[in-house]
Structure formats: C-alpha cells, structure tokens
A and B are shown apart, each in its own frame.
Chain A
C-alpha cells in the first residue's frame, strides 16, 4: 500500500466532489429534508381522531367519562348519535375513526365491575388501534375510586397502567431522530460508494486506472476515506437539527455517538463498494442500493419493533448493519449507555465492515475480463 497513491485517490475524489454540485447539495439536503419530514410527519402519537359518541346512559357519570376521554386529546368529538349501530355505520363510511358507546345500564355495570363502555376502532389502521388502547386506559372516575377498571378489557382485569420510560412524553421525534441518523447514513453512504467505482467504469477512467501500478486496496480505501468525513458531517447536521427542532436529548457521550456513527458509515461504505464492483451501470448500482435500503428500514427496528419479528426475519435483520446501529444509537442517546456496554453491536458492525471490504478488494480485478 503506497500512501502517496492512496492520498492521490482521496484528493482526486474530493476535487471531483467539490465540483459536483448536485452531490454536494444531497449531502446536506437529504438529512435536512428527511429529518423535517420524518420528525413532523411520522407521529405514532395521534391527536384529535374524529370520534362518534353514543351515550345511551346519559348520567352524570357517563358524561364525566366522555369528558375525560376528550381531555386526553386523542379524540375530538365529530358526532353525537343515539345508538351503537349508528356508530358502526359511520365507521364503515369513514366519517369517524373511533366510536365510543356507553350502554343505558352504565351505572349498574360500573357498580358490578363489569365492562362499562365500548371503544370501537377503525381496525384498518394499526396506529389508530394503538390509540384506542390508550383510550381504554382512561379510568372510570367516580365517587368510588377502587372501581377504576379498563373499559375494553375483561371485568376481572385490574386497571393497567402504562408507564413509558426514556420517552415519558411519548414524543415520536425522540425515538425517530436517533434512528434517522442510521437511515440517512445507510441511504447516502451506500449510494455514494455504490456508484463510485461503476461511474469510473462508465466514463472509461477505469481502463486507465487499472493499467497503472495502482492497487485494488489503494483504490478501494481511497474511495471510502472522503465519504467517512461526509458521513460525519451528515451526522452532525441531524444531531443539531434534532436538538434544535425536536429537543432530542443525548443522554450518553457525544464521542460515543460519533464513534457509533463512524462504525455504521464504514459498514455502509464498504457494502457500497461491494455493490460497485458487481454493478454494470450506475442505474444497476442504484437498484441494488434500494434492495439493501428497504429491508434496512423495515427490519432494523427503525419502523417496527424487532421483538415482534418471527425467527428467520430476525436472522436477516441481524445481518443488516442498521439493526445493530439502531440498538447502539438508541442505547447511547436515549438510555445513556456507553459504547463499551454495547460491545456486541460494535463487534457486529466491525465484522460486517471487515467482511465487506475484503470481499470488495478481492472481487475487484485489475482486468477487463
């Protein structure tokens, strides 16, 4: 490995990058746009769902229950009707997302400790369903405090309290921003190096390069190095915006956050290189990038909880660098864990990088055939 040749590649990449305005814009633009979009748009904590209310009891107690539900802010009254049948009709028409039905014998049921009301949910939307579960936790407030019972569960159940650790206000942004660092780095880093080698092949530079003493390792490492810096710049942009716009805290050390990001950057860059040695055109490289990107988003735990996945899917998820980064970054930023405590994930990312880099260097031949 000649440092001079390696450095020549790095300088060349940086000079080319500096003249490539679209890529430069992407480096900062992608994190900003994604963060704002995801941060504001993805909100699993629903407010103001349209609700229909059929209070057949119409007692002081039942009215108080309805007021309590509205007070959670999860639902907003859209219609008051007389019968549960009308609620079902409105649900089907999509005019309401949630129906609250209180039967005429509300007071007797409450006294007997039976189910006192029913929350009807538009089950076609997962998120609404979970909002309904939240509603069901509204205590049946009355003069007798010991009769607090959840509305939808069986009468034998006691009141179920959900306490949210680490994100007590249940703000989605707190969960999403750390993960978003990983998602954005996965998208941009794989793509940048994914097209890096193919582009030179398409433009005809590769035939010149392989006729020189330049080695595969020098070329590969030289291509990766500039993008590590770019990845860290992106990380900084996301962290700063996350703090400024969404007040996302960093419980652990900032150094650990950057080290974790660095590990993911390396893993993704080397994966991109491997793609680049395989792809025949920049377009193919993009397709392969998406082939990696989609499972990463869906299976890493960024969108859906890892615990809910069946066995084989978990194995697949374990093979994705983003899965390990999710655990790392949430641990560091939200739970204040140290990198050393999360050594398993660090080792997984390191191993992934080593395998990808070796495969890329071995696959790249200084031959045209």
Chain B
C-alpha cells in the first residue's frame, strides 16, 4: 500500500461550512497522521459528518484549505476518489442485491482489476465471514452483518485512506468489538482511518482524537493526553442520597458538571478553580455543611469528563486554553 512516504494523511486549515445562517463547521484545523485510527468525537449535529463529507470532496467548503493524501480538495476530488474508501452513516449498499453482487458491483465501480476481482472478493468473503451468506440479499441481513458488508465494500480497492461516519451506531457491542478488530487490522496494514463517533468507548480506542462541539474543534490529542489535562479535577461522590447531593453540588460555581453513575456521582471541577486536595476539601466541606453524608474520592478522568470539560467550558474561550 502506498502513502508510506507521507506522515500526514489529512491536513485542513480554517475549514468552514455554512448552510445559510447556520455555521455547521467553524474554522477547524486538522492534522491526521498517516496509518493511525483518528477519531472524531462529538454529539449529533456537532459537524462530524459535514467535516468528513468536505474532506472526501462531497461537500464544497465555504472557507478553508484541505489537503488529503497530497491532493487539494475539492479541486482534485476526482483523483482522490480512487484512493479513498467511504463508509456512510446510513447503510448505503443495495438492499435488493445479494452480498456477493454488492461486492462485485463495488469492485467494478472502484476499478479493481478484472483479473483480480474474483480473488479479492473471495478474500473479503473469507475475512469478513460471509462464507455462508454470499447469496443473501443485503436488505435481509442484521445490523452487524450490514456494517461488515459496508466495510468490506469500502476497502475492496484497498484504499490508502478510509472515512467511516459513525460506523457502529446501530450495532450491538459484540459486533462492535469485532468491527474494531477489523479497523486495527487495516491500520496495521498501512491504512489511515478517520472514524466519527459519539460513543466514548469507541473514542477511547482511537490512536488520536478530535473533539467537535457545535462545529468547533474544542480539543485534540491522544486519549491519554486529553484525560491527563483533567488530572486532579474528577471525583466520585458516594452518598445514600445521591440526588440530594447532586442538587447541592451543582449549585457550586467551581463545579463544571455532576452526573449520576449508578449510586455514585461523578463530579468534574472547573478549570482555574481548586484542584486535587484543595478541591476534595472544598467538596467535603460543602456536603458536611447541610448536604447529605457522603464519601468523596479522586478518580482518573475519562473521555466523558474530557467531553464535558471541553464542551461546557467553551463559551468563555480564554478559559479553554487552560
């Protein structure tokens, strides 16, 4: 697989997309390293799909520059299409074609050499476990099977770069694990993958992440880097009356978010306020003074905390830099 000479598969500067009054993507700067699984994390409507569509040349950006695999997009989108695979958010293969017919169609359209087509399809059927359902109509398959077929079709021409738009949002956890195994196999084989998701456990698997919120890129880095920034600001509160404790804590100006997880509360402190021991003491004092009895302990921040931190603190922008 080519692309080995390049270290950055995708580079975008000031990428912006407006739909009338709405700014769907707002001056996003991106650098996606080659041969990585790069994640786009963000809630629905945060501009993940729009960004992916601009990167593969399906939407024209209102502003900004895009360089994908050394090609300028959208100007050279046609040349780019031979080198990328794209898996849409909604299943977009043909429901009324059989599994093998779908693969045959995509092979021909993607320009897999004729002599190689049958062998390549056999290979994919084997790898993606379609041995016993090659004759099944795609529309009659389960969600997990459909995702596998969509992935098999997206990589049939062995693209250097693969875009996956929320690939596993309609799939059970077991299928999702298998699916991610496949993604890492592809990355090991030299493919760059850009995966959008709103699921934290998926985001954690990525080599690197960009967090998008309302069209703005609010954070990026490896999952470890992102969580390390919140060190000392995450706590777990165990109380017999978690809801009362939650109301009490949510009133504090230095608390950014309180979420109930089972019988416990997960508390995230605002940046610039007390951290570590000072924060712990502050929380204990508040609950001792009129709140329900509780035990508080510091925890390692996770990506959900990162997500809460970067999306809630977005409005005062200076703070975000902290």
Interface residues of A (CB under 8 A from B): 2, 4-5, 7-9, 11-12, 15-16, 19-20, 203-214, 366-369
Contacts and interface: CB of A to CB of B under 8 A. Distances in A.
A209 B94 contact: no
Contact of B91 (A12, A204, A210): A204
A211 B109 contact: no
A187 to B, nearest CB: 24
Given A16-B96, A204-B92, A367-B58, 6 more contacts: A8-B108, A8-B109, A12-B97, A207-B90, A212-B106, A368-B53
B93 A205 contact: yes
A19 B96 contact: yes
Contacts of A2: 111
Interface string B93-118: 11111000100111011110010000
A212 B88 contact: no
B96 A213 contact: no
A225 to B, nearest CB: 15
Interface stretch (B78-86, B252-260, B263-271): B78-86
A85 B110 CA distance: 83
A213 B58 contact: no
Nearest to A205: B92
Contact of B78 (A206, A213, A368): A213
A246 B206 CA distance: 73
A8 B105 contact: yes
Interface string B48-80: 000001001111100000000000001001100
Main secondary structure of the interface of B (DSSP, over half): loop
Contact of A204 (B58, B60, B88, B106): B88
Given A16-B97, A20-B96, A207 B58 contact: yes
Given A205-B94, A209-B109, A368 B58 contact: yes
28 contacts: A2-B111, A4-B114, A5-B108, A5-B111, A11-B105, A12-B94, A12-B97, A19-B96, A19-B137, A20-B96, A204-B90, A204-B91, A207-B58, A207-B90, A208-B88, A208-B92, A209-B109, A211-B58, A211-B84, A211-B86, A212-B109, A212-B110, A213-B110, A213-B111, A367-B58, A367-B59, A368-B59, A369-B59
A5 B82 CA distance: 13
A16 B59 CA distance: 29
B62 to A, nearest CB: 10
A18 to B, nearest CB: 9
Q: How large is the interface on B (under 10, 10 to 19, 20 to 34, 35 or more residues)?
A: 20 to 34
Nearest to A17: B96
B85 to A, nearest CB: 8
Nearest to B114: A4
Contacts of B101: 12, 15
Contacts of A213: 78, 81-82, 109-111
A203 B90 CA distance: 9
Contacts of A12: 94, 97, 101, 105
Given A207-B92, A368-B58, A7 B108 contact: yes
Contacts of A208: 86, 88, 92-93
Contacts of B111: 2, 4-5, 213
Across the A-B interface, the 4 shortest Cβ-Cβ residue pairs: A8-B108, A208-B92, A211-B86, A204-B92
B74 to A, nearest CB: 8
Contacts of A368: 53, 58-59
Nearest to A211: B86
B88 to A, nearest CB: 5
A351 to B, nearest CB: 30
Given A12-B97, A369-B60, A5 B109 contact: yes
Contacts of A366: 58, 77-78
A142 B84 CA distance: 93
A203 B95 contact: yes
A122 B59 CA distance: 65
Contacts of B60: 367, 369
A208 B105 CA distance: 12
A291 B73 CA distance: 40
Contacts of A20: 96
Contact of B97 (A15, A207, A209): A15
Contacts of B88: 204, 207-208, 211
A213 B91 CA distance: 19
Contacts of B96: 15-16, 19-20
A257 B196 CA distance: 57
A209 B84 CA distance: 13
Contacts of A212: 81, 106, 109-110
Nearest to A6: B108
Contacts of B57: 211
A298 B92 CA distance: 41
A186 B177 CA distance: 52
Contacts of B53: 368
A306 to B, nearest CB: 43
A368 B109 CA distance: 19
Which of B58, B82, B101 gathers most chain A CB within 10 Å? B58
Nearest to A206: B92
Nearest to B82: A213
A213 B60 CA distance: 17
Contacts of B97: 12, 15-16
B64 to A, nearest CB: 15
A340 to B, nearest CB: 40
A204 B105 CA distance: 16
